[in-house]
Amino acid sequence: MAANDHLSAAPAALEPAVGGGFRDTLTARWAALAPRERTLLAIAAAVLAAFVLWAVALAPAWRASTRAPAQLDQLDQQLRRMQALASEAKTLRAVTPVPLAQAQQALSAASERLGTSAKLSLQGERAVLTLRGVSGAQLSGWLAEARAGARARVTEATLDQASPGLYSGSLSLAFGPGGAR
């Protein structure tokens, strides 16, 4: 029987090394505290647990829920802009192509309205407009007319502001898809 007692005592001897001793030590210290100290430690532990819960779980969720409406509004605006651009692209694709000769004629007529401050050079399906002292309003009108009348798009632009509101430089244009057909 002594051998059996020795075997049953071995696990009990290993228990403090595993962690049972730490728990026993804490239980003994807790029991040694006055009731007021136990109450204060319990309150401190509850406050600490509440803080950790707030910092880890509640505060991030609260911040996300307060930011969500502004982010949704921003995403809605982006969606509307993208839908408008998609609609414009669809409209532009549906525009009937202009024959190359007619496109060149429309671009020449638009350039003549700029007077001596612009010179147009036609080279097949491409064109180069050289500008000297053209106002921003004139340039904007010419670009709109080139896009609508000749179905031309700017492929390269080199512009300098010669003086306030006046631009000099060059624009390279390509005629729209199907313009050569």
- Could you report the per-residue pLDDT of 86-141, keeping only the tens digit for each? 998 888 778 788 888 899 999 999 999 999 999 999 998 999 999 999 999 999 99
* pLDDT higher at 67 or 178: 67
* pLDDT one-digit tens code per residue, 151-163: 888 999 999 998 8
* pLDDT one-digit tens code per residue, 19-59: 568 999 989 998 898 999 999 999 999 999 999 999 999 99
Q: Tell me what the pLDDT averaged over the chain comes to.
A: 85
Contact, 173 vs 153, CB < 8 A? yes
Is residue 17's pLDDT more than 80? Answer: no
pLDDT of res. 14: 45
- Please report the DSSP string for the chain in residue order: -HHHHHHHHHHHHHHHHHTHHHHHHHHHHHHHS-HHHHHHHHHHHHHHHHHHHIIIIIHHHHHHHHHHHHHHHHHHHHHHHHHHHHHHHHHHHHSPPPPHHHHHHHHHHHHHTTGGGEEEEEETTEEEEEEEEEEHHHHHHHHHHHHHHS-EEEEEEEEEEEETTEEEEEEEEEEPTTTT-
pLDDT of res. 140: 92
Distance of CA 61 to the CA centre of its chain: 22
- Is pTM, for the whole model, over 0.85? no
Cα-based distances in Å from 123 to 30, 127, 133, 147, 169: 95, 6, 24, 18, 18
pLDDT of res. 121: 94
Is residue 11's pLDDT more than 70? Answer: no
pLDDT of res. 55: 92
Is residue 75's pLDDT more than 50? Answer: yes
